[in-house]
Amino acid sequence: MNYARTALLMAAMTGLFLAIGYMLGGTGGMAIALLLAGGMNLYAYWNSDKMALRMHGARQVDARSAPQLVAMVESLARNAGLPVPKVYLIETEQPNAFATGRNPENGAVAVTRGLLRMLSSDELAGVIAHELAHIKNRDTLIMTITATIAGAVGMLANFAIFFGGNRNNPLGLIGTIALMILAPLAAALVQMAISRAREYEADRIGAEICGRPLWLASALRKLEQGARRIDNVPAENNPATAHMFIVNPLHAHSVDSLFSTHPNTANRVARLHEMAGQPAGAARGPWG
């Protein structure tokens, strides 16, 4: 269901982008918009993972510098049937994590210092499994494409004030102004809806990878509390990357609103408890 919803939302985002191109320049404008989107996505496809890791000061670690963390990632990657991703450490005290990479063969998992300090080994396994689910689902590519198109929609909307739109467009000046305001808003809402759908799906598949949904449920509670209390300065400076993290690094939201890139944590925890068929608690696992 989430896959179909994601496909529909991405189609809506692309349709919005092409419609703006048509309003600005007719069929020629629509063709230029399509070429622009293709060029931007091609660049993002090859470079978005490196850019994201650099923005957050992520440092690659290996079996020598972080043996327990790397061993856990390797074990869970085998469970997921994935190539072992590169592992990165971000020096911030906010507990959080994200995955990136254009495909499973080039995947990377980045965790914060605060995550390692705050979570038990079982909870950490739940978080790593969630990030591996993003890699397995190729969510990093999906989110890169949607973020790029959303940015391009804003760019085209700003062009409207300079070019005045397509002269044959009956909306005229009022329509052009409305386009400038509403188009970026609509694109942002679609992007956020895709983000929320992908998080629910990664929770589900991540729970299957580690075998214990309640490990992730317990971790999510701690992560939300930590995100409320502790700033993540690189994320605050680069808010466009907020959707990549397992919980909102810009301080967690209490409601599942249209303007949130992440689902309500209580809703995520409730779904994980339903998967486990248990009201609370979980047995300790191989990393406990």
131 is catalytic: yes
Residue type, 119: L
Residues (pLDDT < 50) of the chain are 1, 165, 170, 252-256, 281-284, 288
pLDDT at 179: 65
| Angstrom distance (rounded) from CA 147 to CA 154 | 11
Give the pLDDT of residue 37. 73
Distance between CA 144 and CA 266 in Å, rounded?
27
In three-state secondary structure terms, 231 is: coil
Strands ordered across the beta sheet of 97-100? 59-61, 86-90, 108-112, 97-100
- Set 131, 199, 201, 224: catalytic member: 131
Supply the DSSP symbol for 247. Answer: S
215 neighbors 285 (Cβ within 8 angstroms)? yes
Of 223, 231, 269, which is closest to residue 250 (Cα–Cα)?
231
List the structure tokens of 47: 């470079």
Rounded CA Rg of the chain: 20
What is the Cα–Cα distance from 35 to 164, expressed in whole angstroms?
21
As given in the structure block, the two tokens for residue 149 are 């198109």
**Polymer length in residues for the chain:** 288
Structure tokens at 124: 């950490």
119 DSSP assignment: S
**Tell me, what's the pLDDT at 161?**
60
pLDDT of residue 173: 58
d(CA 105, CA 169): 46
d(CA 14, CA 34): 9
pLDDT score for 160: 63
Calpha distance 13→21 (Å, rounded)? 13
* C-beta of residue 13 within 8 angstroms of C-beta of residue 190: yes
Q: What is the pLDDT of residue 1?
A: 46
What confidence score (pLDDT) does residue 132 get? 97
Global confidence as pTM: 0.79
Q: Which residue has the tokens 């670690």?
A: 61
Pairing label, strands 97-100, 108-112: antiparallel
> Do 85 and 135 contact (CB within 8 A), yes or no?
yes
Q: Which residues contact 71 (CB under 8 A, 6 or more apart)?
A: 63
Whether the Cβ atoms of residue 253 and residue 260 lie closer than 8 Å to each other = yes
Give residue 279's pLDDT: 65
Residue 283 confidence (pLDDT): 44
